[in-house]
């Protein structure tokens, strides 16, 4: 459903991604792996349209999104949980959630129960400012905010980074439950191989901004890990 074809992207004079091609299918969790700085976040931003592609294409059900704005991509069904979460610190938890509805194709709806039910802690803190939440709570809020528009594709950029183990487990359960409904595709940038193996179906490894290896998560061998992922 989501395809990236021969994508090139970068910042200023520097080219970060070169000739990246990948595909994310409905009901699958596709993992994006690679050492620090290889371009995982840059790829996420390019798919979302926060960063413009210099070459290549991003398509969704065959529809070319490459020239579309991030808002248009969100309305088309792509949800994004950025690295670092990007919660609005001065807004309340509830207001942060309402902002997720801005990406919804139909305006004026309420935040769907399905988004909230996955994070039962959030309704207990609706009136608190986003900036006063712990990192793990902010991550849950960012995730629920992305789910508010009921996306068909979810881009998750290192959702477990700096998060306490109990919340990592909660996030794993949420990803599994989304996967089990079979409707949503997930692209997950992740450093933890244990996490990848517990939720992932397919993986792509980036090295120097290009896809260096890909395969089913069960086939992720120690040799591939040593060659492309060990620091």
Contact residue for ligand ATP among 16, 115, 122, 220 (CB under 6 A): 16
What's the closest the beta carbon of residue 12 comes to ligand ATP, in angstroms? 6
Among candidates 20, 18, 14, 25, which has minimal Cα distance to 153?
25
Q: Confirm or reject binding of residue 22 to ligand ATP (CB under 6 A).
A: no
State yes or no: residue 4 binds ligand ATP (CB under 6 A): no
Using an 8 Å Cβ cutoff, are 76 and 58 in contact? no
E-assigned strand segments in the chain: 2-11, 14-24, 29-33, 55-60, 63-64, 78-81, 153-157, 185-189, 202-207, 210-216
The alpha-helical segments, DSSP class H, found in 93-201 are: 93-101, 113-117, 135-147, 165-181, 193-199
* Binding residue for ligand ATP, selected from 7, 18, 24, 40, defined by CB under 6 A: 40
Cα 117 from chain centroid (whole Å): 20
Q: In what order do the strands lie in the sheet with 153-157?
A: 78-81, 153-157, 185-189, 29-33, 202-207, 210-216
**Nearer to ligand ATP among residue 47 and residue 175 (C-beta):** 47
Restricting to residues 69-108, name those near ligand ATP by CB under 6 A.
83
Instruction: Tell me which of 34, 79, 82, 100 binds ligand ATP, using CB under 6 A.
Output: 34
Nearer to ligand ATP, 47 or 220 (CB): 47
Q: How far is the CB of 71 from ligand ATP (least distance, A)?
A: 20
**Tokens 């991604």 identify what position?**
17
38: contact with ligand ATP by CB under 6 A: yes
Q: Does the protein bind ligand ATP through residue 130 (CB under 6 A)? A: no
Using CB under 6 A as the binding criterion, the count of chain residues that bind ligand ATP stands at 11
Report if residue 18 touches ligand ATP, rule: CB under 6 A: no
| Contact residue for ligand ATP among 33, 41, 171, 188 (CB under 6 A) | 41
The tokens 């068909």 sit on which residue? 152
The single residue listed with the structure tokens 């088309």 is 76
Chain residues that interact with ligand ATP, rule: CB under 6 A: 11, 16, 34, 36-42, 83
């Amino acid at each position: 459903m989501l395809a990236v074809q021969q994508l090139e992207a970068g910042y200023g004079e520097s080219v970060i991604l070169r000739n990246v091609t990948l595909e994310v299918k409905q009901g699958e969790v596709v993992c994006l792996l690679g050492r620090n700085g290889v371009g995982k976040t840059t790829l996420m931003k390019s798919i979302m349209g926060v960063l413009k592609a210099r070459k290549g294409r991003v398509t969704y059900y065959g529809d070319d999104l490459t020239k579309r704005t991030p808002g248009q991509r969100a309305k088309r069904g792509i949800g994004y949980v950025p690295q670092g979460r990007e919660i609005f610190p001065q807004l309340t938890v509830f207001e942060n959630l309402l902002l997720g509805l801005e990406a919804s194709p139909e305006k004026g709806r309420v935040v769907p129960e399905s988004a909230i039910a996955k994070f039962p802690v959030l309704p207990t803190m609706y009136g608190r400012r986003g900036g006063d939440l712990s990192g793990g709570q902010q991550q849950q809020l960012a995730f629920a905010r992305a789910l508010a528009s009921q996306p068909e594709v979810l881009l998750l950029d290192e959702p477990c980074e700096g998060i306490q183990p109990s919340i990592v487990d909660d996030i794993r359960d949420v990803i599994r439950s989304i996967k089990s409904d079979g409707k949503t595709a997930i692209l997950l940038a992740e450093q933890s191989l244990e996490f990848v193996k517990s939720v992932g179906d397919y993986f792509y490894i980036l090295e120097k901004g290009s896809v260096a290896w890909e395969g089913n998560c069960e086939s992720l061998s120690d040799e591939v890990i040593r060659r492309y992922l060990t620091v």
